[in-house]
Amino acid sequence: MGRVLVSGGAGFLGSHLCDALLAAGHEVTAIDDLSTGTRANLQAAGAHARFHFEQADVLQPLCGQYDRLYHLACPASPAQYRRDPVRTLKVAVTGTLHALELAAQTGARLLLASTSEVYGDPLIHPQPESYFGNVDTQGTRACYDEGKRAAETLVADFVRTRRVDARTARIFNTYGPRMALADGRVVTNFIVAALQGKPLQLTGGGGQGRSFCYVDDLIAGLTGLMETHSAHASAPTNLGMPQQISVRELAHLVIRLTGSKSTLADTPGEAGDPARRCPDISRARAMFGFDPKTGLEQGLLRTIDYARGALASAATVR
């Protein structure tokens, strides 16, 4: 049992990670500036005596003695990171630098939450980790994509020059309970629209291929990557669901699972929205048996349950 720091611990992935680490018996400290995460996400974690929360900003240097640092803090959806693109890039770069400095000073093992966005609009499918990507430095999504690319480079340089024991997870689309309902991701957009009987908006024709990994599987990937003894653990590792469906198929599935009478509507595509994105996970599979098992129907049903509850309590508050 160890002492674990989760930066961005009040976020969607961060809070699920805290729950899993607490269930495994660890002493868990979550830090979050609550700019995109919420205290509500930490309700379950807060019931543990082994859980600590600190409102803090990773743009400030980090301190404390931990065995593991999961560095997840960063705005992570286009709706969030475009609000202040300059701050997003700073958080991605300087926040990672602070996490790495702490790891270098204390000997903690670090995991960077990187992203499939480092591949940009990929020209190779599915994407293996060896693919160098296709990112437009000038795009409105670049603050996140280039920020995370630079963060990956910092990790590689700390591994080489300061002997930090670090891992880099390239996280693909993940969904599940506690997703922010208003942050513009396709799964929540569709579920909310279906539950409210509004049209599901298909951008760019809906033919884009997407893969969706259920949050529990993704969290198992993060902890598996953190704890693997592989000699190649420090190279970036894709985590996500290798099966792909089209956005249009997802819309039909959500309508069926919610029993909604919603229709589909076409809206113009968004600039920089990649046509396809699907991980090659053979590296994670070989290294620590990564195997995302939750089927899309099962995962969506749980997410729909969560969204129904969240919408109902939001309506009550109003």
Find, among 262, 246, 147, 260, the residue nearest to 205 by Cα. Answer: 246
Cβ distance to its own copies smaller for residue 93 or 226: 93
In this chain, which of 35, 77, 106, 134 binds its own copies, going by CB under 8 A? 134
Residue 42 near its own copies by CB under 8 A: no
Min separation Cβ 56 and its own copies, Å:
20
Burial class (CB in 10 A: 0-12, 13-18, 19+), 89: buried
Distance CA 186, CA 265 (A): 14
Residue 149 near its own copies by CB under 8 A: yes
Residue 132 near its own copies by CB under 8 A: yes
In this chain, which of 160, 163, 232, 293 binds its own copies, going by CB under 8 A? 160
- In eight-state DSSP terms, residue 235 is S
What the block records as the tokens of 48 is 């543990």
Per CB under 8 A, which of residues 201..260 are in contact with its own copies? 235-236
DSSP track, 25-91: T-EEEEEE-SSS--GGGGHHHHT-TTEEEEE--TTSPP----SEEEE--S--SHHHHTTSHHHHHHI
- Whether the link from the prior residue into 61 is cis, omega within 30° of 0, is no
In this chain, which of 5, 111, 142, 278 binds its own copies, going by CB under 8 A? 142
Min separation Cβ 159 and its own copies, Å:
9
Cβ distance to its own copies smaller for residue 109 or 149: 149
Find, among 87, 234, 207, 58, the residue nearest to 147 by Cα. Answer: 87
Cβ pair 162, 106 in contact under 8 A? no
Min separation Cβ 220 and its own copies, Å:
25
Residue 127 near its own copies by CB under 8 A: no
Cβ distance to its own copies smaller for residue 73 or 154: 154
Cβ distance to its own copies smaller for residue 25 or 132: 132
Cite the active site residues. 144
Distance CA 230, CA 233 (A): 5
- φ, ψ for residue 47, nearest 5 deg: -75, -10
Find, among 147, 33, 150, 137, the residue nearest to 86 by Cα. Answer: 147
Q: Please list the residues that pair with 127 across neighbouring strands.
A: 279
Residue 274 near its own copies by CB under 8 A: no
Per CB under 8 A, which of residues 65..104 are in contact with its own copies? 84-86, 89-90, 93-94, 97
Min separation Cβ 189 and its own copies, Å:
24
Find, among 56, 44, 237, the residue nearest to 130 by Cα. Answer: 237
Min separation Cβ 155 and its own copies, Å:
9
In this chain, which of 47, 138, 271, 316 binds its own copies, going by CB under 8 A? 138
Min separation Cβ 134 and its own copies, Å:
5
Residue 156 near its own copies by CB under 8 A: yes
Contact positions toward its own copies, by CB under 8 A?
84-86, 89-90, 93-94, 97, 118, 120, 132-140, 142-143, 146-147, 149-150, 152-154, 156-158, 160-162, 235-236
